Each structure stands twice: as C-alpha cells, then as structure tokens.
Amino acid sequence: MELEAKIPKGPLPEKWDRHRFELKLVNPANKRKFDIIVVGTGLAGGSASAALAELGYNVKTFCIQDSPRRAHSIAAQGGINAAKNYTNEGDSIWRLFYDTVKGGDFRAREANVYRLAQISNAIIDHCTAQGVPFAREYGGLLANRSFGGAQVARTFYARGQTGQQLLLGAYSAMMRQVAAGRVRMFPRREMLDLVVVDGRARGIVVRSLLTGEMETHLGHAVVLATGGYGNVYFLSTNAMSSNVTAAFRCYKRGAFFANPCFTQIHPTCIPVHGTYQSKLTLMSESLRNDGRVWVPLQAGDRRRPGDIPESERDYYLERRYPSFGNLVPRDVASRAAKAMCDAGKGVGETGLAVYLDFKDAIARDGRAVIEKKYGNLFQMYEKITGEDPYETPMMIYPAVHYTMGGLWVDYNLMSTVDGLFVLGEANFSDHGANRLGASALMQGLADGYFIIPYTIGGYLATASLESLSETHPAVQEAKAASVQRIHALLSVNGRRTVDDFHRELGRIMWDYCGMSRNNSGLEKARERIRILRGEFWENVKVPEGNETLNQSLERAGRVADFLEFAELMIIDALARQESCGGHFNEAYQTPDNEALRDDAQFCHVAAWEYQGDDREPAFHKEPLVFENVALAQRSYK
Amino acid sequence: MKKSISLTLKVWRQAGSTEKGSFETYAVKDISTDMSFLEMLDVLNEDLTREGKPPIAFDHDCREGICGMCGAVVNGRPHGPEKGTTLCQLHMRHFSDNDELVIEPWRSRAFPVVKDLVVDRSPLERIIIAGGYISVNTGSAPEANSLPVPQEAAEKAMDAAACIGCGACVAACPNGSAMLFTSAKISHLALLPQGRPEAARRAIGMVQEMDRLGFGNCSNITECQVECPKEVSISNIARLNREFMKAWLAADEK
Amino acid sequence: MAWVLKFFVSSVGRKLLMAGTGLCFVLFLTTHLAGNLLLYRGGDVFNAYAARLHSLGPLLTIFELGLLALALVHVVFGLWLFYENDRARPVKYAVKKSGGGQTWGSATMPYTGVLMLAFVIYHLIRFHFVDKTNIPIYEIVKAAFQNSFEVALYVAAMGVVALHVSHGFWSAFQTLGAHHTKYTPIIKAAGLIFSMVVGIGFGFIPIYMRLL
Ligand SMILES: Cc1cc2nc3c(=O)[nH]c(=O)nc-3n(C[C@H](O)[C@H](O)[C@H](O)COP(=O)(O)OP(=O)(O)OC[C@H]3O[C@@H](n4cnc5c(N)ncnc54)[C@H](O)[C@@H]3O)c2cc1C
Ligand code: HEM
Ligand code: FES
C-alpha cells in the first residue's frame, strides 16, 4: 500500500488556504444527517466535539473518566505557543514553524508544521474569547514567557495550569453543545475496538466501565483523540488511565502506526523514590526560565547543596550550550542529566537527580515575583517531597512524558483506514522525533478547532456511506471479539497482579528503550517482552467480574495491549539505525555525544502495518521532503 | 521522623449503588511515609487482590491534584487533614504510626455511591451544562489583545477557575450545598469582560439547575473554602449572590 | 409577578429573605435593647417610655404586625431551608470533623432559631399579652424576675440570641453579596461585638432586676 500524505501543492504558506478551498463542503442542512463519533475529551477531542457540533454535526463523544473535564490534558502546566510576536522579539509564523521542525530533529512533515504555526494565533484568540484566564500584564494585555527550544518568548500561560484552563475552555464549549442537544456525552466508557465496514471506519465498540456492558456506536466517521501511550513505561507523567488501547485496536483494524519509538523523556520531573511509586510528577519546563541546572563538579560529592560553593558547581547546560543555556530542548536536557548521573555526579538519595536552583532568580527578582510565576509548582513540589524549593534547590530527573509516535495520518488527519481521523497526541503528525514545550496543547487545539472541521467535511462530502445497522456482521464480529477478550482476561485466574506485570514491562522499556538505546539491549528487551506477555496470559490475576466497576479489569486490558505494543516500539527502534530527537541509539552520536542523524537513509516516517498476531508488522516508508528548510545538525550551542 | 508506619484503616465498602454498605477494617504495615495516600491504597489493593478479595474501588487519574477525580473523606475531612491538598497529593508523612483512619465516600444525596469510595458526581456537570460557558463559536473570536482585561480581574478569574470539580465542597458542607462549585464558575466568567454578555442568563440558569439537583443550601458556614483543595474562596459565593440578584432584578421578563 | 415568586423560592432568593428579615431583627433588637436599658433608670422612666410607645396607637400595631410578618417569613423559610439541608445528606458521616470553617454560631443556626422562637412566644405571653391596666409594666417585669428560674431562663435565652446573631450578622452581609478582603473582617468583628452587646445588654437586665 502506497502512503499518500495528500500534501497540497503550492508554496508552503499557501498550502492550507488552497486546500481549504479545494475541500468539498457539506451543505449546512445536511450536516445534521451525519453522526460523528469522537473518542477522547482532551484538548483534541474536546475541541473537535465542540467545533463539529457548532457546525451542526451530530456528535457522540466518549471518555474513560467520569467527566470529560478530567482528560489528561488537564495536567499540562507550562503553556501554549503561538506566533503572535507580542513581545516584539522578531517571532513569526515562519520562526515558529522553523523552531518546531528543528526541535523535532527534522522528522516531521513541513506542510503540517507550517499549518500548525499558521493556526496558532487563532487558537489564542479563540481561547481568550472563551474566557481562558491567561496571564496578563498590568496594562491588561496578554503576557508571554519562554520555553525550551526557542529564543523568543511566545508561550501563553495561565499560571502553572494552562492545560487545565484550555481544557476547561474546550469542555465548556462542549457542554454548550450538550445543552444544545448536538453533543451526546458518554463518560466512563472505554473504546475496545473499531468497527470497519467496507474499508471504512463506521463505529466503535465500548465497554461501560460501570456495568461492563459492551455497547456499539455507529456513525459516518470516527475521530480518535485518545492521547499518548507513555504509560507503556509504567512510570510516566501521564494520567493513570492513559493508554494505547484505542489506538492499538485501530492499528489492528488497519490503521498504520507511525514512529512508535519516538518518545519524549522530560528533563524536569520529581525523581523516583520508591518501588511503590505509581506515577511521576512533572515540574513544568517553564521552571528552566529562572532555575539553573547544576551538579557538583566532583563525582560522589555528598555535601548538602548549600554547602557546595559556587566554584565547585557545574552548571553543565550553561557550560555546554552557551546560547540556549538552561533552555535547550527536552531531549538534549534529559540526556545531559543522564550523562551527569552516569558520571557519578547525580545527587539525592539515589544519585539519580540533578539540582534545579532558584537562588539567583530569587535574589534577582525577589521571592514575590518567583512565587507569582511558579507558586503552585513550588507548592506541589513541597507537597510531594516535603522540601521547600524557596530554601533548597529542587531535585529533578528525566521521566517519560510524551509520545511523538502515533497513528499515521495524512494532511487531512485521516489514518490509513478511511473515515478514521486521529487527533492530538494520538497521531504522529507534527513533532517529528522530539516535541518542543508548549506545542502539544497548540497541536491538540489546532487539530480539533481548526483542522478537523474542514477536513472531515471533505471526506463526508465525497464518501458514499450506506446506512448501517447493529446487526451487520462486521459490527457483531467486533463486539464479540471484545466480549471474548474480557472473558479471556477474567478466566486466566493466575497469581500475579496486573500492576506487577505492568511494572516489570515498564522497567524493561525504561532500561532498554528509554533515554538511550542500543541494538543488543533492544533485542534483549524484545525477547523479555515476549516472555512477559506469555506469562501474562497464563498467570495474571484479575479479581471480581465483568458486571461491576472493575478497575483491575480495566487495567488488565490496557496492560495486555501495552505488552503487544511495546514490541512494536522495539521493532521500530531497531529499524531506525540512526539517532534523532528522542530516539538516541548509542551507536550513532557525534563526538560530543549529540544525536547523529542519518538523513540519507532515515529521513522518513516509519509506518507499521499490522499483519496478524504472530507475524512481523509490515514496514511502510513515507519519505520526508524538506523544500523550505535546510536539514542541519541541530545545534543549541 | 519514622520512615515507615503501620495503620488501621476502616474503609467504607459498598458493592454497588443499590447494595447496602458497611465499614471493613484493614491493617496495613510498613507504609513508607513518602507514599501518597492513593499509593497506600494501591499497596492494600495489591494485597487484597493476591488474597482473592475484591480491591477497594476509588476514583483517581492524574495523581497530581489537578483532574479532580480522586477524593474521599478521611477521619471526617474531605481529602484528608492537609490544607489545599487533594487525596492524591496527601502524603503519608502527615500521619503517625498506629493511626486509625476512617475512610468514607463523599456523602450527598446528589452524589449516589457507585461503589466503595466512588460516587457519581455528574450533577456538577449538569450545573455547567446549564450555563457554565461563554457562547462563542469557533472562528468568530476577535484578536486576543483587542479586549484588555485588568490583570487583577484576570487573576481573580483564575483563582475561581482553579476549581477542579472534585466535589469536596459538597462533601464538606454540613448542608451538602454546591454553592462554592457553582459560584467558582459563575465568578470566573463574570469577572472577565468576555463573560459579561451572558452573565445574567448564566447566573439564573446555573442556580436554578443547582437547586433542582438535590443539593442543600448555603448557610455561609465556610467549611467548603477550608476543605477546597484549590482554596477557592467564598468571596465567589458573595459574587454569585450579587450576580443572581442583579440578574433577576434587571431581567425584562415578568 | 411570577418572577418575584420564582426568585424567592430559589435557594439564593430564600437566603436573601433570611438575610433581609434577619437584618430587620437586628435593627429591632437594637431599638428593643435601647428601650429596655431604661429599666436601669427605674420604674418611672421605664413606664413613661412604655406609655409613650403605646401612645403611638395604630402606628405601633402596624409595626407589630410587620414584625410578625418578618418573623413568619424568617421562621418558615428558615425551617424550610433546614429541612432541605438535612435531606441533602441522607447518609451521615461516621466521623464528623470540622476543617475549621464552622463556628458554634454557624453550626447551630436552626437550633438556636427554634429555641428563640419558643422563647419569643413565651416572652410575648409573659410581658405582652398580659393585663397591664392595673399594674405598670415595670412592676410586672420586676415581679417576674424575682423568680430565679425565670432569671436563668432569660439569661440562657439571651445567650442563644447572641449565638444566633454571632453568625447571622456577617452571614447576612455575605448573602447580600457584601464580601471584601478589607471589609469582611470588620463586618465579622462588628457581628461579634453586636452579639455580645445584645447578649450582655439583655442578659444583665433580669439579673439586675433580681438583685434590686
Ligand atoms: C504533566 C504534563 C504536562 C504537560 N504540559 C504541557 C505543556 O505545558 N504544554 C504543552 O503543549 N503540552 C504539555 N503536555 C502535553 C499535553 O498535555 C498532551 O500531549 C495533550 O494534552 C494531549 O491531549 P489529547 O487531547 O491528545 O489527549 P488527552 O488529553 O490525553 O485525552 C485523551 C482522552 O481520550 C480518552 N481515552 C483514552 N483512551 C480511551 C479509550 N480507550 N476509550 C475511550 N476514551 C479514551 C480519555 O478519557 C481522554 O478523554 C503535558 C503533558 C503532561 C503529562
Ligand atoms: C431576634 C430574632 C432573630 C434574629 C435577630 C435573627 C437573625 C438572623 C440573621 C441575621 C440570619 C442570617 C441570614 C443569612 O445568613 O443570610 C439568620 C439566619 C437564620 N435564622 Fe434567624 N434570627 C432571629 C430569629 C430566628 C428564629 C426565631 C428562627 C426560628 C426558626 C431563626 C432561624 C434562622 C435560621 C435557620 C437561619 C439560617 C438560615 C440559613 O442560612 O440557612 N431565626 N437569623
Ligand atoms: S487524581 Fe487527579 S486530582 Fe487526585
């Protein structure tokens, strides 16, 4: 199968306009005849539900949580980028585009990223109109701060709760449509399968998490916005229910999975401190605006931070990257921290941490200013660690945070299954091999508010979709398969708990497919994953039954999919014999240990096609063509 | 400080909304004081699962105090004894060895128990559906900086918008009132110029819906603001009262 | 006019009625106290005050009927709210603990309210609906307070009033929408002072009369 990205012709800045003109429109009166299924209520799914309903479509929306407002997007802290250039530093759509492509280590599609930068400003306008309380200057105009990977301040924020406020904006827009009767909300539902009829996505199978009932919902198109799969590592900054199940089930129904090995390890998280730990907490990257990262110069220096004099500290980011300093992109900062800890300079009980110090910033701006900017983050840090970051430097360490990989989509955000659109973190589209801070929120909202409303129309206007009933064999087959799977999970009745398996899988992935990778480790991981998967299906213990709220059963289904999906990540990592962005293969590095790309062989998107449970997935290549930016070795020096 | 503690837990167990519930007692040992409260429950649940007993159902998701999914009443205090803290952010270092903790679900007529510590908070959503939004269609917004908002107003709006919808205010209120939740949304939007055009409609719509759902009424007892994990202030309730009065008095309808 | 009805049966509307009527009672208590303090000046002054008051004739009746109406509203709505609030939590907590927001006053509003209602009825029977043709009111009061039980009852009742008003005063302002970082603490303090003045002012009268 040929991967057709459907990138419009013409000069980069004109592509999107031209494409919107060329897309067929659905007659306004006909829109209400189309039922659209949206899975996920994060920024991507929430905004899509609202925007599609505003246009008059009939929308059915699903989420796992008890309310759409609790989707994982709520946890985003730092901010959202836009090319407004309010700070007069010379920002522009082009610069945002360029920074994002470069930040992604030249593994994203130019046209998509450019469109994202173009739309960014409209997002800020729309969210402001919705009542998102962005930070403001005394004059009443919007404030900006800087984020990693950029030399201009273009990030809009609402304290340290930007994701929450943007999501509440999308949520309220959606609730307005619920009131109008155009969105029907189905919370506490988990999508377990995609219904494909005649090659087209026509519906989903969901399990009601309260009653265990298996439901099918049919429509004319399915919009998947189910977020990222960072929880394959067990410990990550993702919410507990974040999963790959929905995306992976679509993969099994024919949607290609792109670049699954591209995961982002965020440099500023609270270090791990015990085996019981259930998740990791991010300390927003915005902290690197004012905090300085350092370790003791001497390996094994066990003195308290306050006792280490200036001359015996190594501000290694400032030293190694004088022009970006503490604001280098995430992958660079994370690897640098790992390198320091590997060299024995790590601090804290485990030696797996570096300092993030605010002493100078507090001395310069005063405590009040710092408190205003980061108050809630400092408070959160203190709650978790019991230490006061105003007094003693924070300790941070990298943690899994975001997944750039996802279902492959074309320029219209449609996957390789017709009628299945994929939005937000669940798709692979815009961030290449590394995502810059404050650009996931931008992408989720761009996809939902400003792209899908047009491109779905283009699909619906041209596809001829027959009416479909629940009794169609494809519907019944998908439903039966899901029922069967639940039954299988419940009937193993072994001795190990679901979390036990998940924790072990996470350990394997972190050790061998984490911040740095090598071929033999990856091979080993693959073998161990297979064994673990085998044991899972023989020895997992899932208590209680199907007909009740059964949280262990929910987790079991997700972990079962992670166990299969993890292998796909490894396959992808092995296939990509280069280093780029978040994928760092130790065999490919520059003399000063930066990622070394191989553009001749790997300047492409790797898209994987499911071939059956016991067969290798098929590899498909979408070459990346750079007509507007020169492929360069990333340098933040 | 001791690094690990042992506790006696009395946990409300209820198999389903129509079933009768009761307290079960569990002894948990060697709980690290660095654990969060939910991690402590995880440990207990792992043990229960291995013993073939049903684990305790409790809602949670972000585990960093922002999604509003978690929550239980611990020794009479919603989200436990720490100020400005959700249950997932509550760490065991705040408890002592051999403490006895009574853990109950939110109690409110409007929030029926679903299972164990899980309750149905959908009435809060009904309140939002009744007007907790600004009616702006995608695509129609003016340039963001065309309407300045005084920093102070934006900050106050943000204070109110920080509500995570966890329902602790209802759980804490001796009257089971949802006024803090409702007032937080009404205030957030009323404080911004963007929210003014619909302020009257919103205030009336949301209050009427709140009244319909079986919550109690506010007596200004202020337990809500004390227990709110985001420390949302009752000044928002006063603002709701003002907005509601203004709305009724100024409305044209007879 | 339907809007008026709808307004005053809404939760906020009912609260506004409670606040409005409650504040009227606060005013009434103030004047009532001012009048009663004249008891300290002896029988002649007090009886003269009472006579002047009664010479207002129909005006006084209107005033009394007004008070009765306010009382009806305050009591009926107060009990209605109390009933609803109680029903809002059908299953109570096994462990009840305050986070520190609630005060004795706020926790007991409906109970202090009902006690006050009982007291007011008793009070009216005792001093209002009595035959005053032959004995001046001062003598009636004095005679009543020769009984230690009666003194204790009155003092206790005034404690209850003080408790009710200690929360009611600032609460009424909050209900009316008056909340401000600068002024709310002042209103709260004023409420406490007022409740103490009322409690001690009224409460000391029976003791004084007993000792006379
Ligand atoms: C701690 C943290 C901080 C971050 N900070 C920033 C930041 O400052 N700036 C930035 O740009 N980005 C940030 N990010 C990244 C960003 O938040 C996410 O990438 C983005 O919010 C993802 O949005 P989404 O809509 O794609 O998915 P999500 O918000 O993850 O939503 C997924 C939705 O899908 C539903 N769902 C999932 N699986 C199923 C299923 N099987 N069936 C039914 N429903 C399902 C869920 O219920 C949920 O509603 C941060 C991420 C984290 C973890
Ligand atoms: C001199 C007599 C009284 C005075 C001065 C008085 C004053 C007040 C005031 C100022 C309030 C506060 C209103 C608000 O919070 O908005 C209040 C509330 C209340 N009063 Fe009274 N009151 C009196 C008598 C009574 C009586 C006789 C009852 C009998 C039932 C009563 C029951 C209540 C109740 C239940 C409330 C709380 C309402 C709520 O907030 O839910 N009061 N009172
Ligand atoms: S789990 Fe999200 S607030 Fe506690």
CB A389 within 8 A of CB A292: no
**pLDDT at residue C69, rounded to an integer:** 97
Q: Residue A454: which pLDDT band, with cuts at 50, 70 and 90?
A: very high
Q: Which domain holds residue C6?
A: 2-88+103-211
CA–CA distance, A218 with A48 (Å, rounded to integer): 18
Residues of A whose CB is below 8 A from B16: 548
HSE, CB side, 13 Å, CA atoms: give it for residue A407. Answer: 30
Q: Over the range A329-365, which residues count as b (16 or more CB within 10 Å of their CB) and which as e?
A: bbbbbbbbbbebbeeebbbbeeebbbbbbbbebbeee
Residues 6+ apart with CB under 8 A from B164: A74, A164, B65, B66, B67, B68, B86, B229, B230
Report the relative pairing of strands A221-224 and A35-39 from DSSP bridges.
parallel
Cα of B230 vs centre of ligand 1, distance in Å, is 22
> Domain A12-262+404-462 adopts which CATH fold?
FAD/NAD(P)-binding domain (3.50.50)
**pLDDT at residue A146, rounded to an integer:** 87
**pLDDT at residue A121, rounded to an integer:** 98
CA–CA distance, A337 with A317 (Å, rounded to integer): 9
Q: Summarize the confidence of residues C110-134 as an average pLDDT.
A: 92
Residue B37: other Cβ atoms inside 10 A = 28
The β-bridge partners of A421 are A223, A414
- A-contacting residues of B 213-232, CB under 8 Å? none
> Is C53 a member of any domain?
yes
Phi then psi for A591, rounded to 5 degrees? -55, -35
**pLDDT at residue A148, rounded to an integer:** 75
CA B110 to chain centre: 13
The β-bridge partners of A422 are A224
C-alpha distances in Å from residue A538, one per residue of A103, A244, A497, A559, A614: 44, 22, 12, 14, 18
CB A79 within 8 A of CB A145: yes
The β-bridge partners of A605 are A622
> Is C133 a member of any domain?
yes
The full 3-state SS of A534-581, as one line of letters, equals: HHHHHHEECCCCCCCCCHHHHHHHHHHHHHHHHHHHHHHHHHCCCCEC
Q: How many CB pairs under 8 A join A and B?
A: 212
Q: Summarize the confidence of residues A395-405 as an average pLDDT.
A: 96
Question: Pick from A69, A175, A383: which is nearest to B85 by CB?
Answer: A383
CB A405 within 8 A of CB A288: no
Among the listed ranges A274-278, A389-393, B78-82, which one has the minimum average pLDDT value? Answer: A274-278
* Record: contact A161-B69, CB cut-off 8 A: no
Report the relative pairing of strands A58-62 and A257-258 from DSSP bridges.
unpaired
**pLDDT at residue B1, rounded to an integer:** 52
- For residue B128, give the chain A residue with the closest CA: A175
Whether pLDDT at B15 is above 90: yes
> Is C203 a member of any domain?
yes
pLDDT in tens, C184-208: 999 999 999 999 999 999 999 999 9
Cα of A239 vs centre of ligand 1, distance in Å, is 8
Q: Which atom of ligand 3 is nearest to the CA of B65?
A: 3
Q: Which two tokens stand for residue A599?
A: 């553009």
Q: Residue B2: which pLDDT band, with cuts at 50, 70 and 90?
A: low
Q: Which two tokens stand for residue C45?
A: 């002054």
Q: What is the mean pLDDT of chain C?
A: 94
CA–CA distance, A516 with A524 (Å, rounded to integer): 14
CA–CA distance, A301 with A294 (Å, rounded to integer): 13
Phi then psi for C144, rounded to 5 degrees? -55, -45
**pLDDT at residue B209, rounded to an integer:** 98
Q: Does A495 contact chain B (CB < 8 Å)? A: yes
How far does the CA of residue A494 sit from the closest CA of chain B (Å)? 9
Phi then psi for C21, rounded to 5 degrees? -65, -40
Starting from the CA of residue A241, give the closest ligand.
1
Residue A395 is inside which H or E element, if any? strand A394-403
- For residue A134, give the chain B residue with the closest CA: B154
Q: What is the mean pLDDT of chain A?
A: 95
When divided into structural domains, chain C yields a total of: 1
Residue C211: Cβ-neighbour burial (10 angstroms; 0-12, 13-18, 19+)? exposed
Question: Pick from C90, C106, C180: which is nearest to B220 by CB?
Answer: C106
CA A359 to chain centre: 32
How far does the CA of residue B253 sit from the closest CA of chain C (Å)? 8
> Is C94 a member of any domain?
no
Q: Which atom of ligand 3 is nearest to the CA of B70?
A: 4
**pLDDT at residue B254, rounded to an integer:** 61
CA–CA distance, B134 with A126 (Å, rounded to integer): 11
Q: Does B244 contact chain C (CB < 8 Å)? A: yes
Take atom 22 of ligand 2 and give the residue whose Cα is closest: C22
Pocket test for ligand 1, best of A425, A436, A555 (most atoms within 8 A of CB): A425
Residue C106: Cβ-neighbour burial (10 angstroms; 0-12, 13-18, 19+)? buried
Residue A210: Cβ-neighbour burial (10 angstroms; 0-12, 13-18, 19+)? buried
Q: Which atom of ligand 3 is nearest to the CA of B68?
A: 3
Q: Over the range C150-163, which residues count as b (16 or more CB within 10 Å of their CB) and which as e?
A: bbebbbebbbbbbb
Q: Summarize the confidence of residues C5-20 as an average pLDDT.
A: 94
Whether pLDDT at C1 is above 70: no
**pLDDT at residue A633, rounded to an integer:** 80
Q: Yes or no: is domain B4-104 CATH 3.30.70.20?
A: no
Torsion of CA B72, B76, B77, B78, to 10 degrees: 30
Please report, for the domain that includes residue C176, its CATH number: 1.20.1300.10
Q: Does B36 contact chain A (CB < 8 Å)? A: yes
Q: Does A158 contact chain B (CB < 8 Å)? A: yes
C69 vs A637, residue with greater confidence: C69
Chains C and A are touching, with contact defined as 3 or more CB–CB pairs separated by less than 8 Å: no
Pocket test for ligand 2, best of C10, C15, C17, C25 (most atoms within 8 A of CB): C25
**pLDDT at residue C172, rounded to an integer:** 98
Among the listed ranges A408-412, A477-481, A549-553, C147-151, which one has the minimum average pLDDT value? Answer: C147-151
Cα of A92 vs centre of ligand 1, distance in Å, is 27
What percentage of chain B exceeds 70 in pLDDT?
A: 98
Phi then psi for A423, rounded to 5 degrees? -125, 160
Q: Which two tokens stand for residue C194?
A: 């007022």
**pLDDT at residue B201, rounded to an integer:** 95
**pLDDT at residue B28, rounded to an integer:** 97
Complex ipTM value: 0.97
Class of domain A473-602: mainly alpha
Whether pLDDT at B180 is above 70: yes
CB B182 within 8 A of CB B160: no
pLDDT in tens, A14-55: 999 999 999 999 999 999 999 999 999 999 999 999 999 999
Q: Residue A86: which pLDDT band, with cuts at 50, 70 and 90?
A: very high
Angle at C26 between CA C23 and CA C28, to 5 degrees: 115
User: Is ligand 3 within 6 A of the CB of residue B79?
Assistant: no
> Is C11 a member of any domain?
yes
Cα of C18 vs centre of ligand 2, distance in Å, is 6
Residue C114: Cβ-neighbour burial (10 angstroms; 0-12, 13-18, 19+)? middle
pLDDT in tens, A128-143: 999 999 999 999 999 9
Report the relative pairing of strands B73-74 and B77-78 from DSSP bridges.
antiparallel
CATH number of A266-399: 3.90.700.10
Residues of A whose CB is below 8 A from B91: 383-384, 386
* Record: contact B144-A140, CB cut-off 8 A: no
Q: Summarize the confidence of residues C52-65 as an average pLDDT.
A: 93
> Is C41 a member of any domain?
yes
Handedness of CA A495, A498, A500, A504 (dihedral sign): positive
Chains B and C are touching, with contact defined as 3 or more CB–CB pairs separated by less than 8 Å: yes
Chain C neighbours, 3+ Cβ pairs < 8 A: B
CA–CA distance, B81 with B69 (Å, rounded to integer): 18
CATH number of B122-135+148-253: 1.10.1060.10
How far does the CA of residue A125 sit from the closest CA of chain B (Å)? 4
CA–CA distance, B59 with B117 (Å, rounded to integer): 7
**pLDDT at residue C161, rounded to an integer:** 97
3-state class of A461 per DSSP? helix
Q: Angle between the B151-161 and A162-179 helix axes, to the nearest 10 degrees?
A: 70
Residues of chain B within CATH 1.10.1060.10 domain(s) are: 122-135+148-253
